[in-house]
């Protein structure tokens, strides 16, 4: 097989670490009065102030975490895994665009649609990919 | 596409794991190929045929509707 552009296996744990770490950070931030910058009107002063930086940090942590989890190698990366990966990615794009288009038509709040777009495809991809791998392993017939 | 990997394995007396290791894939992949749930790439099919030292057509054959 040709080399794939995937992260090493341990990036999966790093990724989950980032995703988990972003939760208490966000909670602490919110409790200190930080609000989602998307809820504020965008002006020049709102860029790169404490709240904006905080938002960037937590959002990046979450998105990068999901990215690492989604694109970390499996223990045994072969052509069937590759096939399932692509198939899951295709479904994730379908779902993402359905949600995106429906929300574009029915919701006027475009900033939050963007935020949704940040994690829906990755999260859906991870769930779908894990699910097909789980089903694959469960369907293993015993050797004849 | 059908295949008779299971039969060939029995003749050669190797397990799915042995075959998987010889061609560099997981045992799951060999298992799904044997149960006709996954169609291998040409590269993998050729490698499998190589392990059994037989021409490709003796191991993999088209089904009606393929």
Do residues A87 and A59 share a domain? no
Which of A40, A73, A106 terminates a domain? The answer is A73
> For chain B, how big is the Rg over CA atoms in Å?
11
Pick the range with the lowest mean pLDDT from A35-49, A93-107, A126-140: A35-49
Q: Cβ B25–A78 below 8 Å, yes or no?
A: yes
CATH number of the structural domain B2-61: 1.10.260.40
Pick left, alpha or beta for residue B36 (phi over 0 → left; psi -120 to 50 → alpha; otherwise beta).
left
Do residues A92 and A116 share a domain? yes
Do the Cβ atoms of A120 and A126 come closer than 8 Å? Answer: no
Do residues A3 and A18 share a domain? yes
Residue that wins the pLDDT comparison between A39 and B34: B34
Q: What is the tens place of the pLDDT at every residue in B47-62?
A: 999 999 989 988 999 9
Do the Cβ atoms of B5 and B59 come closer than 8 Å? Answer: yes
Q: B5 phi and psi, to 5 degrees?
A: -60, -40
Do residues A20 and A46 share a domain? yes
Interface confidence (ipTM) of the complex: 0.81
Q: B61 phi and psi, to 5 degrees?
A: -140, 150
Tell me, what's the pLDDT at A104?
A: 85
Question: Which residue range forms the structural domain that includes residue A98?
Answer: 76-144
Mean of all residue pLDDT scores within chain A: 83
Which of A73, A89, A116 terminates a domain? The answer is A73
Q: Cβ B38–A81 below 8 Å, yes or no?
A: no
Residue A36 has pLDDT above 70, yes or no: no
Residues of chain A with pLDDT > 90, as a percent, come to: 28
Q: Cβ B28–A143 below 8 Å, yes or no?
A: no
Question: Which residue on chain A is closest to B39 by alpha carbon?
Answer: A80
Distances (CA, A) of A31 to A75, B45, B59: 40, 59, 65
Q: Which two tokens stand for residue A131?
A: 């699910």
CB atoms within 10 A of CB A31: 8
CB atoms within 10 A of CB A106: 7
Cα separation, A55 vs A44, whole angstroms: 16
Banded pLDDT at B13 (limits 50, 70, 90): very high
Give me the residue label for tokens 């744990």.
A13
From B28's Cα to the closest Cα of chain A, the distance in A is: 7
Domain ranges of chain B: 2-61
Chain B positions in Cβ-Cβ contact with residue A136 (cut-off 8 Å): 28, 32
Distances (CA, A) of A27 to A18, A50, A53: 15, 16, 15
Q: Which two tokens stand for residue A110?
A: 């475009």
Please return the burial class of A104, using the count of CB atoms within 10 Å of its CB with bins 0-12, 13-18 and 19+: exposed
């Amino acid at each position: 097989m040709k080399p794939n552009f995937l992260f090493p296996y341990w990036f999966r744990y790093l990724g989950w670490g980032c995703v988990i770490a972003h939760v208490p950070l966000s909670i602490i931030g919110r409790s200190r009065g930080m609000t989602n910058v998307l809820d504020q009107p965008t002006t020049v002063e709102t860029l790169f102030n404490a709240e904006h930086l905080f938002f960037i940090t937590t959002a990046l942590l979450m998105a990068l975490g999901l990215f690492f989890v989604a694109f970390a190698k499996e223990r045994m990366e072969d052509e069937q895994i590759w096939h399932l990966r692509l198939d899951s990615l295709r479904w994730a794009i379908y779902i993402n665009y359905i949600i995106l288009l429906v929300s574009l038509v029915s919701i006027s709040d475009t900033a939050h649609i963007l935020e949704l777009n940040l994690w829906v495809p990755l999260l859906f991809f991870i769930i779908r990919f894990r699910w097909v791998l789980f089903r694959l392993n469960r369907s293993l017939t015993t050797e004849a | 596409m059908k295949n008779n990997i299971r039969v060939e394995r029995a003749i050669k007396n190797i397990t799915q794991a042995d075959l998987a290791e010889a061609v560099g894939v997981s045992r799951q992949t060999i298992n799904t190929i044997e149960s006709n749930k996954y169609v291998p790439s040409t590269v993998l099919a050729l490698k499998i045929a190589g392990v059994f030292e037989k021409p490709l057509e003796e191991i993999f054959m088209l089904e009606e509707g393929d």
